[in-house]
Amino acid sequence: MPITHKTPVSKTAVNLVDGKVLTVENLTFSYPDGYVALHEIDLALSAGEKVALVGPNGAGKSTLMLHLNGILNGAGELRVGGLPLNKKNIALIRAAVGLVFQNPDDQLFSPTVFEDVAFGPLHMGLPEDEVRTRVEEALAQVGMSGFGERLSHHLSMGQKKRISIATVLSMRPQLLVLDEPSAGLDPRARRSLINLLRDLPITMLVSTHDMALVRELFPRMVIMDEGRVVADGETTILLNDEVLLEKHGLEKP
């Protein structure tokens, strides 16, 4: 009997072109008051890369992250996989780019953990069974299985951070964007977060001030200052360039 293959259903929202998950070209953005927050940013991420985004406060890291799924719209080119960011693609791109905000109290806005993790899949229009499977999977991935019915405001900071990550993992994104994930964590919670990020098999862009974290987890590092990308390269090399680090207000761990 011949084997029949079902038409493969695309598991992901966006197809990759040349293995690139994200391409940013010549992105410039100024706030309504005229302050230029991003100045001709170029950045490309390949599938599977884990990249750190560092720089002093006000360098434009968070502003850049808000562009990656179209919350803010600057002038320039931004593609996720092969898809250019525009009104038509924005829903697909939001499913492909999982953005986790710094403060989990902003990220977790539903009364229960389950509802928060289900929010993304539900709004992607998935059927109920699929939503439940994805919620369970995402909670298991961050080691929080069985927390579904808990109330968000009863969780500890470390737990909230993990749930925050689960809320975007449930959308099965191709790029995970985290804003200062280790801020405000005690050493134990920080350690378990590092292990979690190391084990997640997914492309990542992580903004942080935690240089020890950068050295430990991210082979590639991008330095931003005053709205520009001032360095982009191997972490081991950049972390030894003390002149560069000091010039942009950073410290060798």
| C-beta of 105 vs 216, nearer to another protein | 105
| C-beta of 166 vs 231, nearer to another protein | 166
Q: State how far the Cα of 88 lies from the Cα of 228, in Å rounded to an integer.
A: 28
Q: Which of 36, 44, 91, 183 binds another protein (CB under 8 A)?
A: 91
Q: State how far the Cα of 209 lies from the Cα of 249, in Å rounded to an integer.
A: 10
Q: Which of 167, 174, 203, 207 binds another protein (CB under 8 A)?
A: 167
- The answer to the question of residue 248 lying near another protein (CB under 8 A) is no
Q: State how far the Cα of 46 lies from the Cα of 93, in Å rounded to an integer.
A: 16
Tell me, what DSSP letter sits at residue 246?
A: H
Q: State how far the Cα of 173 lies from the Cα of 162, in Å rounded to an integer.
A: 16
Which 106-145 positions form the footprint of another protein (CB under 8 A)? 106-112, 115, 118-120, 122-124, 128, 131-132
Q: In the bound complex, what is the minimum distance in angstroms from residue 230's beta carbon to another protein?
A: 26
| C-beta of 37 vs 95, nearer to another protein | 95
Q: What is residue 234's three-state secondary structure?
A: strand
| C-beta of 72 vs 230, nearer to another protein | 72
What's the chain's Rg over C-alpha atoms?
Answer: 19
Q: In the bound complex, what is the minimum distance in angstroms from residue 57's beta carbon to another protein?
A: 16
Give ∠ CA 178-184-187 in degrees, rounded to 5: 100
- The answer to the question of residue 209 lying near another protein (CB under 8 A) is no
Q: Which of 141, 152, 182, 207 binds another protein (CB under 8 A)?
A: 152
In the shown chain, the binding pattern of residues 92 to 111 toward another protein, with x for contact by CB under 8 A and - for none, equals --xx-xxx-x-x-xxxxxxx
- The answer to the question of residue 88 lying near another protein (CB under 8 A) is no
| C-beta of 42 vs 112, nearer to another protein | 112
- Which amino acid does the sequence have at 212? A
| C-beta of 51 vs 176, nearer to another protein | 176
**231 in Cβ contact with 244 (< 8 Å):** yes
| C-beta of 119 vs 218, nearer to another protein | 119
Q: Where are the beta strands (DSSP E) in the chain?
A: 20-30, 36-46, 50-54, 75-80, 83-84, 97-100, 175-179, 203-207, 220-225, 228-234
Enumerate helices (H) and strands (E) in the chain, giving the number of each: 10, 10
Given the rule CB under 8 A, which residues bind another protein?
A: 66, 69, 71, 91, 94-95, 97-99, 101, 103, 105-112, 115, 118-120, 122-124, 128, 131-132, 151-154, 167-168, 171
